[in-house]
Amino acid sequence: MSHRGKFLLGGAVILGALGYLVYAGVSQSVVYFVTPSELQAQPVPGKAYRLGGLVAPGSLKWEARSLDLSFILSDGKTSVPVRHKGTAPDLFAEGRGAVVEGTWSGEGYFKASLIMAKHSEEYKAPHGNEAQAGYKELLKTLKGRGNP
Amino acid sequence: MTPEIGYAMTAVALGLALYGSAACAIGARTNRPVLIQSAQHAAIGTFVLIGAAMLLLVYAFLTFDFSVRYVATNTNRGTPFYYRITALWGALEGSIILWSAMLSLYTLLIIVRYRSRQAEFYPWVLSVMLGILAFFLLVMTIPAPPFERLAPIPPDGRGLNPLLEDTGMITHPVALYLGFTGFTVPFAFAMAALITGRTGDEWMRVTRRWTIVAWYFLSLGLLIGGWWSYHVLGWGGYWAWDPVENAAFMPWLTGTAFLHSVMIQERRRILKLWNLTLIILTFGLTIFGTFLTRSGILSSVHSFTQGSIGAFFLGFIALVLLGAFGLVAARGDRLRAEGELDSIVSRESAFLLNNLFLIAAAFTVFFGTIFPLLSEAIRGVKVSVGAPFFNLVNIPIFLALILLMGVGPLIAWRRASLDNLRRNFLAPVGAGILAAGVFRLLGVANALALTCLSLVVFVAATIVLDFYRATGARLQTGERLLPAMGGLLMRQNRRYGGFVVHLGILVVALGVTGSQAWSIQTESTLRRGEALQIGQYNVRFDGLAASEESNHFKVTGTFTVTNNGHALAVMTPAKKFYPQEQTPIAAVDYLMGLREDLYLVLGDFARDGSQATVKVQLNRFVTLIWIGGFILTLGAALAILPEPRKAPSPLSSPPGGERAG
């Protein structure tokens, strides 16, 4: 076999191995993005999903001591209860979009291992007096407390 | 008036760049130096106009000129002075100005350096660079005008994205864009080589140092980006395989491949076609990265159609690839190899393998980044490809690359004899195996970490061995130790600069391995006076305080940290509430250490200050990544120094001396 042939063969073997690596990587770690309706239609316990929806107003519960976070993700038609251990990310709030990654527990709720809040990049007018008042109150209650 | 003046400047600059590009090409083709002279003036005019437009925009930011939409969306009256300057590149329109400014700076440097040298290449290089500059000016004129007028003029602006109010964001885009635009220089020379038919290795030798400069700034940009992510985003990581990061990482991978494969062409006159392909791909990927991150295509393929900027970039990428590869095809007869590979056990094939793996890594990153888009566009199924995919596929590739980093520089050209292999690799391989054993005994159980540590020791040993031998040879001639070492670094700066860069990469690799393998974290809600324990540290919550800053409110937690009972520090992670944002932003506090960082993120808290949730991480060896970046800087600086004329050495001179000079 010529040198060229050997090099081509060697290259082909390596490329084949890499191709397999990519194939295995994709089939193992691709995560399907579903809406609450799609998930509720045919939930597979233990399978990894990314579930996206709106955090239903009034559904957010946070047990600070045990770090238990629970809320309901909704797409307007169907909703899915979600449980998570730990604080939510900064941009997470009721009435806003969120994407959670995790598995269907098989017991009626989605077990989230990761919460991603959706960051809106659109132009937003600064908050009105209402929000400002909220911050002022926060300042008042906290001012002077603790040892900075 | 500011919007109109600014718009006029960019429009005139566009006209000048287009004229200059055409005049250069015509001047070169018809041999009329006057036209090239005139194009040169146009290029300088473009540089001045872009600089002035940038200053005008800075002035608009400093004076709160909210008649400019871009100023109104990216600043408000509370934005501190220095962030009003860097708000310039806080969003799309401004970053295109920054890009153009960098590119026109490189163009100016090309004029200064080559106007009376490289007479064959120069006009075409200038023409290509002005053509590319014209594209970015076109983007500034039509789809993303930074000077768009806002009417009616609002009393206050929206404010800068709070995450960008950070020193990392002052430097990161500048470094990154100097890297991106820097690759335009070797690309333009490659095109000039194809157009003029001088497809030898001249264009690569001329641009060798330019390529290192571009590569260095791109590396620095990536590292600063990691540092920003680490100390701003509050998740304790520095790399998330986010598409935005991948977009900058892909040209780095192909650029690194190019940097190495040009050495084979210079020495052996093979791989001409390959090198051209690599530089075209690298340049194409810098543009593709901007397309990916700025067109909105990432959030969904459907958002792509909303703005026209994506179409502009896609069209430009198609034009670049068609034009460049068309030229390659037209010159196919001149791109035949003048030599061939002799043996698989040789430096050529080590470098080839290095290239293969780097390209494979770039391809997998590319594939993983666009797979969700393809899936959505073709199958209508939304999927996500996250860190697990990239880690699974890339870790073996990067381990192989580290191994080759040790083999490549020391193995003989053409055909390595058994003697060469024994002489250069016996001791380092021994050191690597010994290191694996020692670390195993020290309690390192993670197989991946053990492999990486062993490889790093192997590569470091090859570098030390080489430097030791070369210094020894100089000592034989009666030189003293320090002058011998210094002389070696200066006289063979390209080789040893490369080695120092490799050392930097090794230190980064140690940092990545260590932080992935041994970092730990815990999260807990503490009442005032309560404490949590992590490693040997005790973290006690002492209370909350609130304050009013220039453009936000801040709630700061106070935590007293002791190390094995000894008082260590009072740490103050905070949460910042920006009026323009609906939710707060965390301000991380961390104690940096060589071995580990103690990293505190304030979570939820009670309004009366009685309790707070805190996430505490012990991030191990992350500091090594920043130290590695510093070493890399030293190495790149050494490699960029002009090469001394004629520095023959027994290790790097080609056997048979097939290359004169």
Candidate from B34-48, B103-117, B240-254, B342-356 with smallest mean pLDDT: B342-356
Q: Is B90 helix (H, G, I), strand (E, B) or coil?
A: coil
What order do you get walking across the sheet with B596-605 strand by strand?
Answer: B520-527, B611-620, B596-605, B589-591
Contact A138 B523 (CB under 8 A): no
Query: Residue B137: pLDDT band by 50, 70, 90 thresholds?
Result: very high
B396 — contact with chain A (CB < 8 Å)? yes
User: Is pLDDT at A108 greater than 60 in this prediction?
Assistant: yes
**Across residues B405-426, what is the average pLDDT?**
86
B530, pLDDT greater than 90:
yes
Task: Find all residues with CB under 8 Å of B437, minimum gap 6, and list them.
Answer: none
Residue B658's pLDDT band, with cuts at 50, 70 and 90, is very low
Q: For residue A86, list chain B residues with Cβ-Cβ distance below 8 A.
A: 523, 615
Please report, rounded to a whole number, the percentage of residues in chain B having pLDDT higher than 70. Answer: 96
Q: How far is the alpha carbon of B293 from chain A, nearest alpha carbon, in Å? A: 13
pLDDT for B6: 94
Q: Is the per-residue pLDDT at B299 higher than 70?
A: no
> Residue B72: closest CA among chain A residues belongs to which residue?
A123
Mean pLDDT along residues B621-646: 89
* Pick from B364, B371, B384: CB nearest A33: B384
What pLDDT is attached to residue B301? Answer: 59
Which chain A residues are Cβ-neighbours of B367 within 8 angstroms? Answer: 22
pLDDT in tens, B249-284: 999 999 999 999 999 888 888 888 999 999 999 999
Mean pLDDT (chain B, rounded): 89
| Number of CB pairs, chain A paired with chain B, less than 8 A apart | 163
pLDDT reading at B289 higher than 70? yes
Residue A3: predicted pLDDT: 67
Residue B442 has pLDDT above 70, yes or no: yes
ipTM over 0.90: no
Is 50 exceeded by the pLDDT of residue B19?
A: yes
pLDDT at B305: 53
Mean pLDDT across B491-518: 93
Tell which A residues from 46 to 85 touch B, by Cβ distance under 8 Å.
50, 62, 64-65, 67
* Total residues belonging to chain B: 661
- Does the pLDDT value for residue B153 go beyond 50? yes
Q: How far apart are CA B337 and CA B597, in angstroms?
A: 52
Question: What's the whole-number mean pLDDT along residues B412-421?
Answer: 83
Q: Determine whether the interchain pair A147/B584 forms a contact, defined as Cβ–Cβ distance below 8 Å.
A: no
Are residues A126 and B159, on separate chains, in Cβ contact within 8 Å? yes
CB B152 within 8 A of CB B66: no
The Cα–Cα gap between B290 and B180 comes to 10
Higher-confidence residue: A134 or B321? B321
**Confidence category of residue A125, pLDDT binned at 50, 70, 90:** very low
Whole-number Å distance between alpha carbons of B144 and B149: 12
Task: State residue A124's pLDDT score.
Answer: 39
| Interval B60-102: pLDDT, tens | 999 999 999 999 989 988 888 889 988 998 888 888 999 999 9
Task: Judge whether residue B615 has pLDDT over 90.
Answer: yes
User: B247 pLDDT exceeds 70?
Assistant: yes
User: In this predicted model, which residue has the larger pLDDT, B380 or B139?
Assistant: B139
Q: From the centroid of its chain, how far is CA B554?
A: 33
In whole angstroms, give the CA distance from residue A103 to residue B617.
25
Q: Does A8 touch chain B (CB under 8 A)?
A: no
Closest CA to B400 of B452, B359, B464, B364: B452
Smallest Cα distance from B259 to chain A, Å: 21
Contact between B614 and B523 under an 8 Å Cβ cutoff? The reply is: yes
Q: What is the pLDDT of residue B304?
A: 54
Alpha carbons B198 and B202: distance in angstroms, whole number: 8
- Per cent of chain A over pLDDT 70 is 76
Of A26, A62, A86, the CB nearest to B371: A26
pLDDT in tens, B356-404: 999 999 999 999 998 888 888 888 888 888 888 999 899 999 999 999 9
**Given an 8 Å threshold on Cβ–Cβ distance, is A24 in contact with B392?**
yes
Measured from the Cβ of residue B16, the count of other Cβ atoms closer than 10 Å reads: 25
User: Which range, B177-186, B292-301, B386-395, has the best average confidence (pLDDT)?
Assistant: B177-186
pLDDT in the model for residue B327: 95
Of the two residues B121 and A5, the one the predictor is more confident about is B121
**Is-cis flag, bond preceding B152, omega within 30?**
yes
| Of the partner residues B156, B344, B547, the one whose CB lies closest to the CB of residue A126 | B156
Residues 6+ apart with CB under 8 A from B290: B99, B180, B247, B313
> Own/partner pairs for B196-203, CB < 8 Å, 24+ apart?
B196/B120, B196/B121, B196/B124, B197/B331, B197/B334, B198/B120, B198/B121, B199/B272, B199/B331, B199/B334, B199/B335, B201/B262, B201/B265, B201/B266, B201/B269, B201/B272, B202/B121, B203/B121
B261/A contact by beta carbon, under 8 A: no
Instruction: Compute the nearest-CA separation of A127 from chain B (Å).
Output: 6
pLDDT at B444 over 50: yes
> What is d(CA B595, CA B26) in angstroms, rounded to the nearest whole number?
61
Q: Which of B158, B543, B615 sits opposite A87 (nearest CB)?
A: B615
Cβ atoms A145, A138 nearer than 8 A: no
Q: Name every residue whose Cβ is closer than 8 Å to that of residue B171 and which is 6 or more positions away in sequence.
A: B224
Q: Which residues of B touch A126 (CB under 8 A)?
A: 76, 156, 158-159, 579-580
Mean pLDDT of chain A: 77
Q: Kindly tell me if the per-residue pLDDT of B660 is higher than 60.
A: no
pLDDT digits (tens, 9 = 90+) for B209-231: 999 999 999 999 999 999 998 98
Q: What is the pLDDT of residues A35-88, one digit of tens each?
A: 888 888 888 888 888 888 888 888 999 888 889 999 999 888 889 999 999 888
**Confidence class of residue B317 from pLDDT cuts 50, 70 and 90?**
very high
Residues of A in contact with B341 (CB under 8 A): 3-4, 7
A92 touches chain B (CB under 8 A): yes
CA distance B645 to chain A (A): 36
Residue B654's pLDDT is 42
Give the pLDDT band (50/70/90) at residue B23.
Answer: very high
Contact flag A126-B158 (C-beta cutoff 8 Å)? yes
